[in-house]
Amino acid sequence: MATGTDIRTYYEGRWHDGDIPILKAADHGTWLGGSVFDGARCVNGLAPDLLPHCQRVNRSAEALMMTPTVDPEDMVEIVREGLAAYPDDAAVYIRPMYWATQCGHSAIVPLDEDIGFAVCLEVIPMAPPEASTTLTRTRFRRPVLEDAVVNAKAGCLYPNNARMLAEARGKGFGNALVADAMGNVAESATANVFIVRDGEVLTPIPNGTFLAGITRARHMANLAADGTPVTEAVLTFEDVASADEVFLSGNMMKVTPVTAFDDRQYQVGPVTRRVREMYWDWAATAG
């Protein structure tokens, strides 16, 4: 079942109305996990950082031994053509994706031939400004490159995220704060994480266990331009517990304030509000 509504799918060179079937039972992407995707947003006619998302899905394909078949600039034009069918005030999730169709050596390695490509657009509303979440620890961790394709936004990584979320929600929390292999904070189960302590903004340093997100980078650039540079650092769970503010950064909702981490409570603070304000101010100028 789809997450959103009003779905349109670009497949085999043209746009189709609806959530059409695109994978076959014997495709590598179906039974062996050879698939990648990316996620961008269009909100009120604005599609910020669309090109970087299209560039990243091509890098993800390469990480899974697939040669991308669509130039990022052409992908942007395909997306904009599809978005023209939606009203200006729609909040649309944009998902370009590749998958391997054929299997090679030992039926495990994907053959770099006939790579599937599609774009899925679906209406998914933005969270209201007052929305927030809560975090708890999880026993599941982020893998490293030697274990999994953590340098890609790959479908095969998400069952691990799903069990993190299921554990957190079973404990009554909205999301999980996840450790890397060394036990330091990596990200949440669904988004990158920032903390604010004594006026300083910090975020986990990219160490190859999680994707340093495009929206994360945009917040860092906006904060630096506003006179508050962000420090990338090794962060512990104790650092998060002692923070004044915590917020999540991801493409789906851009900024999500955190109001609790286990038994530690937070207010939605001025930096979190300022980050959200700066993001949409920037998006209005960037389109």
The tens digit of pLDDT for each residue in 14-64 reads: 999 999 999 999 999 999 999 999 999 999 999 999 999 999 999 999 999
pLDDT tens string 93-122: 999 999 999 987 778 899 888 899 999 999
Query: Is 3.30.470.10 the CATH classification of the domain at 5-123?
Result: yes
Q: Is 11 left (phi over 0), alpha (psi -120 to 50) or beta?
A: beta
Cα Rg, the chain, nearest whole Å:
19
Mean pLDDT of 154-166: 97
- Average of per-residue pLDDT across 254-277: 97
- Contact 246/266 with Cβ under 8 angstroms? yes
Same fold, 5-123 and 133-286: no
Domain coordinates of the chain in residue numbers? 5-123, 133-286
pLDDT in the model for residue 113: 84
Instruction: Dump the DSSP string for 38-66.
Output: --EEEETTB-TTHHHHHHHHHHHHHHTT-
Tell me, what's the pLDDT at 1? 58
Q: Does 80 have pLDDT greater than 90?
A: yes
Residue 161 has pLDDT above 70, yes or no: yes
Q: Return the structure tokens found at 172.
A: 């009554």
Average pLDDT of the segment spanning 136-158: 96
Structure confidence at residue 257 as a pLDDT band (50, 70, 90): very high
Per-residue model confidence (pLDDT) at position 104: 76
CATH architecture, range 133-286: Alpha-Beta Barrel (3.20)
C-alpha–C-alpha distance, residues 99 and 68, integer Å: 10
Question: Within 10 Å of residue 145's Cβ, how many Cβ atoms?
Answer: 11
pLDDT-derived band at 287, boundaries 50, 70, 90: low
pLDDT at 85 exceeding the cut of 90:
yes
Percentage of the chain exceeding pLDDT 90: 93
- Characterise 46 by phi-psi region: left (phi > 0), alpha (psi -120 to 50), beta (else): beta
pLDDT at residue 118 in the model: 98
- Beta carbons within 8 Å of 132's beta carbon, 6+ residues apart: 256, 257, 258, 259, 268
Written as one letter, the residue type at 94 is: I
